[in-house]
Structures are given as C-alpha cells and as structure tokens.
Structure 1
Amino acid sequence: MSLYRLVADAAARTPAALAVSDLVTGMSYGELDARADTYLAALRGRGVLPGDRVLVWTDKTAEAVAVAQAVLRCGAIHVPVPRGNPPGRVARIAADARPALIVTDHAEQLPGVACVPHADLAREAPSGSRPAPRPVRPSDPAYILYTSGSTGAPKGVCLSHGNALAFVDWACRELDLTPADRLANHAAFGFDLSVFDLYGAFRAGASVHLVGETLAQAPAPLVDFLLERRITVWYSVPSVLVLMAEYGELLERGPGALRACVFAGERFPLKPLKELRRGWPGVRMLNWYGPTETNVCTSYEVTAADLARTAAIPIGSPAAGDTVSLDDGEIVVGGPTVMLGYWGGEPQAGPYRTGDLGRYDAAGLLEYRGRIDDMAKVRGHRIEPAEVNGVLVAHEKVRDAVVLVVGAGPDARLHAFVIPETGAAPEYAELRRHCARFLPPYMAIDALHTVSGFPRTGNGKVDRVALGGLVTRGAGV
C-alpha cells in the first residue's frame, strides 16, 4: 500500500465526492485523481525519477495537494515548504534536499535549481494523459519535513509510505472516520500535523478543508470557518484553540458539527482545557504526542474525569503500533511510525530517542516533563534556538547572540540577547526585518535585550537561567 493509493481508491469508489477544498475552490476525488495524473505526466516529462526530491513551495491550495499526489505517483519524494518561508530559508532547504525541481505558485526564483509555477507545469502535460503511477514499497521514502535543526540549519526528517500509513490507519480507527466526515487542515503542509488531516481524510474517503496561512492565526474567522464548513474533526496545536476561545467566542458559539477535537505539538494549559472540556460535553477530545521523527506515538483522551485535575494531562499510552519506554527519563520510541532517518544522514537504527523527558503517573500513563536540550515549542512549532541565533549573528551590528524561549505553551516567546558590535546597537524592528529574510514568521524574535556580555556558569557555558532573570527584571525592549 502507498499514500497515493488512498486518493486513487477513493476516486474509484466515489468519484463525485468532495476530496479537498481550499478557500477558493474544491476538487472531487475524481478531479483530484485526474489532476494528479496531469502533474504526473508533466513531472515525468521533466525527467523526475523515483527517489528524486520535488520541493513544493506554495500556499495551501487544492492544486498543491494535487502536485503532492503526483510527486508520490512518480515514486519521488515530496518536500513541502510553506509559502511563508522566505527565499533564504528555502535556499538552505534546497541545498540540503537537492531537489530535481521546485514547484511554486508564484514567480520567485532560487539560484541553481529549476523553479516552475504549477500552472505552467500543468500545461506541459500531454492532453488527456493518464500515466500509470510508479509502484512503491512501504519502506520507500514518501516525504521530507524540514524542522529547525540543532546545528542552526533546517533538518530534514524523512518518512516512508509505511511510516505514514501506520499512523494514518490507526488514527482513522481511533476516530472512526467515515466518508461523511469533514476534516479541517489547520497546520502547514510542512508541519507533521497535516499528515493526518490530508491522508486521514483520503483514507476514509472524507473531505479535507484547507485553512490558509493568513486565516490560520485569525481567531474569529477560524471559528467562522469551523462552523460554516461544518467541520466534524479538528486537529491543531492547543494555542490556536486557546486563541479561538479567548478572541473568537469559540465556546459561546458552540462546536457546530464538530464531533472530535484533537490537539498536539505543545502542552494545553489546564484552565482553558477544562473550560473547553466542560463546554463541549458531546465532543471527543484527544491529546496526541510525538516528535516529527515518529509522527504520533502516544494518545490520551480527555474526559469529564479530567475536570478534577490540578496538573497537566498526560500524553497517554502508546499508539499506532509503537512501543514507548523511558531510558533514564528520556522518552524512547520504536515501531512502524519511526522515521527512516534524517535526509543526508545515516539511516535510523533501532528506537528513536526523542530528547523529551517523561515519567509515568499513578495510572501508568506517560507524562511529558520537558526537553533534555534547548529545543522548545513556540506558537505550536518545534524550534531550535540555534537556527534563530545563527541568523541573528549574521547581522552586521551583532557580535554575539543567545536566543532563549521564555514561557510555555501559548505564552512561549523568543527572546534574543544580543551583544552589539562597536557602534550603534541594532534596533528591535531592524532585527525583525533581518529575521524575516531568512526565517518563517513563527521563528521571528518577540523581544530584544541588548547586553554587554553573557553570564556564565562555573564550567564556562552561558547561564541561561541568569539570562531568563533579565526578562523577569524587565531588561530589553
């Protein structure tokens, strides 16, 4: 079984059923299947071969979904990069992935690799062409998701068709998805939450409704979207649900057709979680956990019993056929959802060490206890401060910098501590503009603190606790 078979099979069963809808248009399963074949013919005409990478740098549209399906049908590897990523970061991703082709929905070009708008690509296909897809094995790579890397450069997590299907099949069973369901896709295509939104819908023959990048951070319009599109299954980071409740009257307006609300990517603050659970007694609520390298590997269903909790909910029990254990407090995951490896690196051998700390509660459920290293979640995205740091120190007025995540969950913010070069110190707005040239919007700094030096621990390392104290004392701008 392959990921591309999900659409083809649904098209054979119910060709007229809605498959995917963006904010402008929609495609039935028959239309999506045919459109994917059009792009498949064009990609082959361009010489794309099995194992090649095709980077898709677009907004969230039905056309982008069709392109992704065509890449998989080629036996190639889909590399989704959200349109909001600036050319500097896309260039670094392209340098690592070495794509045979970059497909866009805009005229932006990158040096050294062919960039083609998907409208031009579609016109290259012979009229009426329906080429046969390339057979793939479950172990063949399907897509690469680029996360913030510990070296300061984006890092590609490579997952196979089998990795994705192990999770998707489990999720469809867990949520009892049917063709009548209408799934929202809030996450960007380059974020692992989108795997369920898209392929869970296709596996069930349901429809998926794409939330554009601008709409994704607008609380009141998001609630409108949820209700007007009659969404039955919602999946997002908790901070989005918190914003929808605080500024979009989510609880006051009711869940509409919603029957399942799933969240992942960060801790859900207990008070707003309880308010949501209390206000939506008829909606299933599930907390899913797993780094990009494993997709989802544990699950916990939030029930009325959790209204009595005084501490964070657990991340639960193993899911999707995975085994989850603790090694000196670190969460270790083995099983069918574990990645093939990092692109360009050694294949993953054995269980994956997440770098997350956990412990078991009295009921034997796993609790998340934080990160071993500095990696953190900000605005629902996993961020390695070293990547932001690397961009800051490239600015001409910055001699050295440390980036620190302050706060947790929806309140997590990126604070930059900067030692300026001789002369005028950089302004906050100036550094924000600089970051925007190289980083996606969710990695922009939230505060700037100009310092003459960094406090150090006894072994010479930067004392991050002391730096955090500068924030509480109100230093910086």
Structure 2
Amino acid sequence: MKNVLEYLEDSAKKYPNKIAVKDNKSSCSYINLLENAKHIGSSLLEYEEPRKPIVVFMEKSVQALSTFMGIVHAGCFYVFISPEQPEARIQQILEVTQAKCIITQHEYVDDIRKLQFSGHLLDYSELIKGEIREDELKRIRALTLDIDPLYCNFTSGSTGVPKGVLVSHRSVIDFMEYFPNIFNITENDVIGNQAPFDFDVSVKDIYSTLKLGATMVIIPKQYFSIITLLLDYMCDEKITTMIWAVSALCLITQLKGLTYKVPTSVNKILFSGEVMPIKHLKLWKEALPEASFVNLYGPTEITCNCTYYCIDKEVKDSEILPLGQAFPNEKVFLLDEDDKEVKEKDKIGEICVSGTALALGYYNNKEQTSKAFVQNPLNSLYMEPIYRTGDLAFYNSNGDLCFSGRKDFQIKYMGHRIELEEIEAILNSYPEVNRACCIFESDKNRIVAFYIGSIEKKELQKRMKESLPIHMIPRIFHSMDELPISKNGKIDRKKLKDYGR
C-alpha cells in the first residue's frame, strides 16, 4: 500500500451506502465521498501538477474532507487554513507554501481577496461539477510514491514565522497500521471529531474512519461554547470514540457538563496535547466506568503520536500519567546534554524519535528542518534521521516513560533549575482548583500562576508551602474565569504572558 486513497476505495467497496462523514449540516456516504473526490481531483488537473501544495480555506466540514481527498487524487498535498485564523498568519502560510491554488466556498471569497492572492481561487461547488477523468487519475496514481507528501500542518515557529510540518502517505499508513488495532477501533465506531483539521489529532479521526469504514461525526467548534448543546449532540449521534485534546475534555468537566448529561455510548477516550489533570480524568472515569482511557503523546513532527499509556488503575490526584511505551515501528529514547543515551531510572533526558513516522521536515524551511531532524548521534554507521522533540522525560520504576517538561519550560530561578509542569501538577491537585498554568516572566524574574477555582490567593500560596520549596512557589497568582485556549486546544501560554502587562 502506498496511497491513503486505498483506505477510501476499500471502504467504498465494503460499505458503499454507509455514512462516512457528517457534520451538523450535511452527510456523505463512502461511495459519494469517493465520487466527489474524483470530481474535484479531475478538475484540479488543469491547475496544478503533482506533489504541490493546494490550500483549503473553509470551516472543517464534509466538504473540506471531500476536498482533501480530491487534492490527493490530483497527486497533490493539502494545506488546511481555517477562516478564523488571523489575516497576518494566513498571509505567512501562503508565503511559506507559495501555493498557486486556494479552494474555498462562496462566503469566504472576499476574505481571500483581502489577502491579494494572485493564484487560482477555486470554488468548491464548481470543482465538484467537473467531469471525472479516470484515465488521467490512474496515470497520476501509477506515478505516486509512498513518500509523496499528503498534508502540511502549520505550527508556531520560534522565529515568529509558522512552520509547515510536511507528512507523507507512508508515515500516515505506517501509523494507521497499528493505531486502530491497539485501541480496538472498528467499523462499528462513531468517531466524534473535536480537533481542527489543521491539527494532527484530526488525522487520527480521519484516517481511522477511512481505513475501517467507521463513521466520523464532525463536532462544530461553536458547540464547545454551549456545553449542553455539545453533550446533546454527542448523545444524539451516539458517539463511541473520543480522540480529543486534554483541554476539550477538561472544558466539559470544568463546567460540570457531566452532571447535565453523560454520553453513555462513549467507550473509548484517547487524549493528548497536555498533561491531563487527574481530578478531571477521575470525573470522566466515574461517569463512564466501562470506557477505556488512553494517554497519548507525540508532536506533529512524528505523525500524531509515538507513545501511549492505557490507564487501567487508580491514580493519585498529584500523580502525572506516564507517557507509556512506544508504538510499534517507532523507536523512542532519551538523550542527555552530551548526546549519550539515558537508560537509568529517574534520570532526565530529551525525548527523541526514530522511525517511518517521522515527517518529511518543515516545508520550504531548510534551516529549521536541519535543527530538529538530525542524524542519530548514537549511530555513526548509516543514515538514521531522528526528531529531537525538545520534551524532557525519565523512566519510572516500571520502565514507562514519564513526561518531565519542556526544554523551554525548564527555567533557572534563584539558582535552581525548575520545571514549571511540576508546580502545575501541585496546583492542579487541589480540589478547589479546576485548572492551572504557570509561566516564567524572565524580564521580571518571577514565576506567575494562573488558575480557575474558588480558593483565595493567600490560601493557595500558604498551601503550596506544604508541598514545594520556597523557590518553586509563584510570586504572583491570577484568579481567572477561564484560561485562554489556542486554536489547537492547548492553554495559550503566549496570551498569559501578555496578561497584565
């Protein structure tokens, strides 16, 4: 197998009339999804050659997924941009990709024209009317390689310019060979899509669905602003599988959504993106005692995830869940500051990953690619690229990998090296604190804590002295109604740094 379209084609043969994907406005069967993709792919042949980027500018929807598959039929790779993105960031992404084509819908045409885009502005409703050119589509497929790019997702860049993580068909296929089987995701599942389509969590939703012949229900972003509406929708659609960001799960429990309604059809909850606060995990486990819960870890650069930990025991409130073990065909190991492998228990090192799942690098960015994707320093005999994650971890007594913070979240304060996540774990363990996050203001040389909860700042500071040395206790505490969330569902630490300045 060398192309993800084989997933769609196989499922269209097995389940032609089954709903492949639906949102709150429309739905599409497998056979219709395949036909729509062929129409779009055929129309694109006159605008772009294979292995080139094509931008999809629309809300996540049935139409967006159809467009992705159409772009792949044309031998190209897709770059999804949500219309909610700031204009400056959209312009940066377009400059990095140098895309000649943008596929959109009528209501977004004026937004794109503001960008002074000089390429082909293509209307979805027109592309889908194009005649299917089977012979040309077959010719393009015959020339494709499994290392051809499939999609490009943009993450924040340290230089202020977004980095486009380019992922191949081969990497997605390799990951999907194992992911659904390990967690018993089958054709009978209804996968509730929470993640934006430009966030790699959605890759697990999309390709698990297409590979297995399952159904994906796209949950609109606005539903997460009205928890009762969200839970009603999940129950009505009989969602069985949630592959969600931690913050999305915490949003429901933080607003006491599970006291309103429990989505009892859910039997699998897989989460990633941040450290899961144990108190929120317990609320989910109490509401869904028969469901399986899995902690997933892995950056976008290694195609979704590289480790997993199945939670089959009770955990303490102050405990941090292990990252667990590596997925098959992925090597996950630790390197110290001298590039020596760390194997000892409790010794911290940087998480590094080797294997087919590695991305092709950052699109049109040789400098950043060369910094993060490097030769394995433990191997001098042949080429073995690895990705240096910048995440720190250690092995516990069971041999499981445990997260210990980011290299850039590790601070030096009052002569001590401090991991901000350690402080956050203590804050999140208090019953009166719903969610907490810490930042370090280097210009003022102080640790600042932000939290949602009913506890007074003085009481919080007093209680932290019982668990942490004085140099690890934040100088400033901000009580918040809510913590800012980035588009990828993580706490937006940049906005917190700007708070109060």
TM-score greater than 0.5 by the shorter chain: yes
Contact 2:171 2:358 in 1 (8 A): yes
Q: Does 1:182 align with 2:190?
A: yes
Contact 1:317 1:365 in 2 (8 A): yes
Match of 2:291 among 283, 287, 304: 283
Contact 1:7 1:33 in 2 (8 A): yes
Contact 2:248 2:489 in 1 (8 A): no
What is the root-mean-square deviation in Å for CA atoms of aligned residues? 3.2
Contact 2:53 2:97 in 1 (8 A): yes
Provide the C-alpha distance between the structure 2 equivalents of 1:35 and 1:315, rounded to a whole number of angstroms. Answer: 40
Provide the C-alpha distance between the structure 2 equivalents of 1:74 and 1:244, rounded to a whole number of angstroms. Answer: 40
1:224 corresponds to which residue? 232
Contact 1:237 1:264 in 2 (8 A): yes
Q: Does 1:344 align with 2:344?
A: no
Q: 1:437-465: CA deviations, max 9, x gaps?
A: xx99986965686xxxxxxxxxxxxxxxx
1:331 corresponds to which residue? 351
Contact 2:11 2:213 in 1 (8 A): yes
Contact 2:266 2:288 in 1 (8 A): no
Change (3 A) 1:230 1:189: same
Q: Structure 1 residue 73: deviation in Å?
A: 1.3
The one-letter code of the counterpart of 2:357 is T
Contact 1:293 1:338 in 2 (8 A): yes
Contact 1:219 1:240 in 2 (8 A): no
Contact 1:320 1:337 in 2 (8 A): no
2:77 corresponds to which residue? 77
1:102 corresponds to which residue? 102
Contact 2:253 2:283 in 1 (8 A): no
Q: Structure 1 residue 240: deviation in Å?
A: 1.1
The one-letter code of the counterpart of 1:337 is A
Provide the C-alpha distance between the structure 1 equivalents of 2:67 and 2:292, rounded to a whole number of angstroms. Answer: 33
SS at match of 2:128: helix
Over 6 Å off, 4+ runs: 408-411, 439-442
Q: 1:133-174: CA deviations, max 9, x gaps?
A: 532222111111000011101100011001111222211111
Match of 1:371 among 406, 409, 434: 406
Change (3 A) 1:315 1:440: closer
Provide the C-alpha distance between the structure 2 equivalents of 1:146 and 1:215, rounded to a whole number of angstroms. Answer: 24
1:153 corresponds to which residue? 161
Provide the C-alpha distance between the structure 2 equivalents of 1:224 and 1:70, rounded to a whole number of angstroms. Answer: 33
Contact 1:217 1:240 in 2 (8 A): no
1:60 corresponds to which residue? 60
TM-score, with normalisation over the residues of structure 1? 0.78
2:389 corresponds to which residue? 354
Alignment of 1:17-28 (within 5 A): 17-28=18-29
SS at match of 1:268: coil
The one-letter code of the counterpart of 2:249 is L
Match of 2:325 among 317, 330, 334: 317
Provide the C-alpha distance between the structure 1 equivalents of 2:324 and 2:41, rounded to a whole number of angstroms. Answer: 41
SS at match of 1:253: coil
The one-letter code of the counterpart of 2:178 is W
Alignment of 1:384-395 (within 5 A): none
Identical aligned residues as a percent: 27
Alignment of 1:263-302 (within 5 A): 263-294=271-302, 295-302=304-311
195-204 or 242-251, which deviates more = 242-251
Provide the C-alpha distance between the structure 2 equivalents of 1:89 and 1:19, rounded to a whole number of angstroms. Answer: 32
Q: Structure 1 residue 220: deviation in Å?
A: 2.5
SS at match of 2:178: helix
Provide the C-alpha distance between the structure 2 equivalents of 1:32 and 1:406, rounded to a whole number of angstroms. Answer: 49
Q: Structure 1 residue 275: deviation in Å?
A: 2.4
Q: Structure 1 residue 86: deviation in Å?
A: 2.6
Provide the C-alpha distance between the structure 1 equivalents of 2:223 and 2:103, rounded to a whole number of angstroms. Answer: 23
Contact 1:188 1:194 in 2 (8 A): yes
Contact 1:169 1:203 in 2 (8 A): no
Change (3 A) 1:312 1:447: closer
SS at match of 1:164: helix
SS at match of 1:196: helix
SS at match of 1:373: helix
Provide the C-alpha distance between the structure 1 equivalents of 2:254 and 2:212, rounded to a whole number of angstroms. Answer: 33
Contact 2:191 2:242 in 1 (8 A): yes
SS at match of 1:311: coil
Contact 2:238 2:263 in 1 (8 A): no
TM-score, with normalisation over the residues of structure 2? 0.74
2:42 corresponds to which residue? 41
Contact 1:277 1:302 in 2 (8 A): no
Change (3 A) 1:405 1:20: farther
